[in-house]
Amino acid sequence: MDSRVFLSLFLFLFFLLYFPNVSHSFLLRGWLADDKKTEESRLKLKSETRSSSVFDPTKVTQLSWHPRAFLFKGFLSDEECDHFITLAKDKMEKSMVADNASGKSVESEVRTSSGMFLNKQQDDIVSNVEDRLAAWTFLPIENGEAMQILHYEHGQKYEPHFDYFSDPVNQQMGGHRYATVLMYLSNVVKGGETVFPDSEAQLNQPKDDSLSDCAKEGYAVKPRKGDALLFFGLHLNTTTDPRSLHGSCPVIEGEKWSATKWIHVKDYDNPIIVSQDCIDEHVNCTHWAAKGECRNNPIYMVGSKTSKGYCRKSCAVC
């Protein structure tokens, strides 16, 4: 076996072990479409020509496994943080929340910050950060929403909530939010911690006076300029993880700036809207069904309780 083939296989197996369900939907389709084409790794970033997009794994620590949460120290440079704040500063509006049933944006006392959305690939600095986020999370750029910049002044907060949506409207765009990366753009003198009230890790965290009272109610991450917090709202099997409940504690002294990247299960830029009719959504459904994929890869092929599969006709489930 030559070394490229070996490396491709190794990366593929590693990815499969790490994100079994995600890799099914992203990889297996392409993989099965052409059984002989094994020389090429499927892990390449689309934007490989734009930047080197490698990350140093020694800068990342696991904070908690239930929910899955990781901290990347110094993910952003000071200049990148300042740049994001400059882009956002004069465009801030009161933050909204999604209504549980309708999915519409509504004002709420639960969330008192102000915020705005950047555009994807708005400039070279934004693009470069988006590339690095994809490299770190192993999740494709097209699955991400545009970054949201948030500003919390004295007393402002976001009470514990989930990032996945309860309403069906928001889930049409790329499915559930799978992962969230919170990037801290400023230091906060006191308060403003990200808190996970149901994290298993809260029992091991010393509750010293550097934490606000709100932060002591769970596992807390202190905002530090440049650090990035990655956590997953879904389990590995893509069901929602209620332990991903998290909030932003009130700022007690100073102010807090942060940037959020939400990453979905599927393509967010060009979502496939699955129709209600009994049809196949991909030209190779018949081929895959004949190879046993309805049984081996049911979430993509047939679907689950919350989302319809892409090959329901060939799998004879409608």
Query: Which residues of this chain interact with ligand NAG, rule CB under 6 A?
Result: 33-34, 100, 166, 235, 237, 239, 283-284
Q: Which is nearer to ligand NAG, 82 or 99 (CB)?
A: 99
Q: Which is nearer to ligand NAG, 62 or 166 (CB)?
A: 166
3-state DSSP assignment of residue 93 = strand
Least distance in Å: CB of 130 to ligand NAG? 26
Least distance in Å: CB of 224 to ligand NAG? 29
Please state the φ and ψ torsions of residue 87, each to the nearest 5 degrees: -60, -35
Least distance in Å: CB of 68 to ligand NAG? 10
**DSSP one-letter string for 118-182:** PPTT-SHHHHHHHHHHHHHHT--GGGBPPPEEEEE-BT--EEEE-SS-SSHHHHTTTSSEEEEEE
Least distance in Å: CB of 235 to ligand NAG? 4
Which residues contact residue 274 at a Cβ distance below 8 angstroms, ignoring those fewer than 6 apart? 281, 303, 307, 308, 309, 310
DSSP 8-state symbol, 226:
T
Please state the φ and ψ torsions of residue 142, each to the nearest 5 degrees: -70, -15
Q: Which is nearer to ligand NAG, 83 or 282 (CB)?
A: 282
Q: Which is nearer to ligand NAG, 13 or 33 (CB)?
A: 33
Q: Which is nearer to ligand NAG, 63 or 126 (CB)?
A: 63
Least distance in Å: CB of 225 to ligand NAG? 32
First-last CA distance in the chain: 44
3-state DSSP assignment of residue 261 = strand
